[in-house]
Amino acid sequence: MSVEVGKPVPDIEIHLTGDRHARLSDYRGKPLVLYFYPKANTPGCTQEGKDFAEHINKFRRQSCRILGASRDSLKAQENFKAKYHFPFDLIADPDEVLCNAFEVIKLKNMYGRQVRGIERSTFLIDAEGVLRREWRGVKVKGHVEAVLEAVKALKNS
């Protein structure tokens, strides 16, 4: 069960901020940006979330929704969303079901030792639930703008 550009994404159950459960299929009908980040309340992840929040109206004009996901607990995700007033939901995936389906767990070097963690990645899913674009090993600066351009191109195709 993994994702591939041009193929439908698996219909996985997700646990959202607000202690709500949904399925990825619940987001069909409009494009969806699903971005994965390593850890709530860390500098790069905070900046990425703020960048998506800053551009939320531009995404909404394209009828596009945004979800952020990490392995953090629901409580950590709730606190992260509240602290920075993110206008989109975050997904708590401590069991790594979603992370594994999108193959974002990688071995990373941290202070000289290897640890498992999320490789910052973003996925653009179309209104029919088909994966249209993926960005792996994302650098935060300028990334949200690139995703927005891809959303616009998807809408115009």
118 with 36: CB under 8 angstroms? yes
Cβ burial 80-97 (10 Å sphere, 16+ → b, else e): bbeeeebebbbbbbeeee
51 in helix, strand or coil?
helix
Closest CA to 48 of 79, 69, 78: 69
Residue 99 is among the residues annotated as catalytic for this protein: no
- The single residue of 9, 14, 40, 45 carrying the catalytic annotation is 45
Catalytic residue positions? 45
